């Protein structure tokens, strides 16, 4: 079965691409990082397509190219995103740059919707007769529920992904396409890997159990579980070790 993973060149997306490929899926990685994306695609026997998830033409062209190579994709995992950290009013009194807020919403929320709508349209056009035609898994964040200081843009964008989940599932139910969202807690992504080990350990200790940072492969494991269970639809699953984020 063909699958598309956005943001698949690193972090949660890369772990998901590896896990699905290991299960026999034909993977198309959509990302802007050509070096990392191409290297991973080669490693897992998949394909890489330079893709801006916010662009009409970029997504349309990548979907067409992936379909020409692998056939109609029936799995979409949306991991592309950014995580800005900017206060609404900085310590020097300057307001949050509006362009930074727009960019977070554009990539995290608009990009997710852009992928959903174009992916679903192509899949519906394939006219597949199975009981289940496809599955879409989006990525939100626990910041959608307990955003911290400096996360106004990030939390708003991920809250939008949470709010999108149920209506998208209802819209696409008639086409037998499920829509789910995962809201990860603190995971060992490339951004956190750049922190000193004591800082990583300190973050991990905030998680009640298991008291450590989440591993990207655990995100991929949940994606796999969602794909396997046809009654999971229209819901957001927190994958966070029971953490509830403090204000800072």
Catalytic residue among 48, 119, 154, 187: 154
Task: Record the tokens describing residue 51, joined without a space.
Answer: 């893709």
The answer to whether residue 154 is catalytic is: yes
Q: How many CB atoms sit inside 10 A of residue 212's CB? A: 15
CA distance 180 to 138: 6
Maximum alpha-carbon separation in the chain: 60
Task: Record the tokens describing residue 146, joined without a space.
Answer: 């307990």
Task: Record the tokens describing residue 221, joined without a space.
Answer: 């494991």
Contacts of 238 (CB under 8 A, 6+ apart): 142, 145, 183, 185
CA distance 45 to 196: 33
73 neighbors 3 (Cβ within 8 angstroms) = yes
8 neighbors 30 (Cβ within 8 angstroms) = yes
214: alpha, beta or left, given left = phi > 0 and alpha = psi -120 to 50? beta
CA distance 97 to 104: 11
Active site residues per annotation: 154
């Amino acid at each position: 079965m063909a699958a598309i993973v956005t943001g698949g060149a690193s972090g949660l997306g890369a772990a998901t691409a590896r896990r699905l490929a290991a299960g026999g899926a034909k993977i198309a990685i959509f990302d802007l990082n050509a070096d990392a994306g191409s290297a991973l695609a080669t490693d897992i026997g998949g394909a890489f397509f330079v893709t801006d998830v916010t662009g009409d033409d970029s997504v349309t062209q990548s979907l067409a190219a992936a379909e020409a190579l692998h056939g109609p994709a029936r799995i979409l995992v949306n991991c592309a995103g950014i995580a800005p950290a900017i206060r609404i009013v900085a310590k020097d009194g300057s307001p949050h740059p509006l362009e930074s807020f727009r960019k977070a919403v554009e990539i995290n929320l608009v990009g997710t919707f852009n992928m959903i709508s174009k992916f679903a349209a192509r899949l519906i056009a394939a006219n597949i007769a199975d009981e289940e035609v496809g599955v879409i898994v989006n990525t939100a964040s626990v910041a959608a529920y307990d955003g911290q200081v400096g996360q106004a843009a990030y939390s708003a964008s991920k809250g939008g992904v949470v709010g999108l989940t149920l209506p998208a599932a209802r819209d696409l139910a008639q086409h037998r396409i499920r829509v789910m969202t995962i809201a990860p807690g603190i995971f060992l992504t490339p951004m956190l890997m750049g922190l000193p080990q004591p800082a990583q350990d300190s973050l991990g200790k905030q998680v009640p159990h298991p008291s450590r940072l989440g591993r990207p492969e655990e995100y991929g494991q949940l994606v796999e579980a969602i794909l396997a269970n046809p009654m999971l639809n229209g819901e957001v699953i927190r994958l966070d070790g029971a953490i509830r984020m403090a204000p800072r």
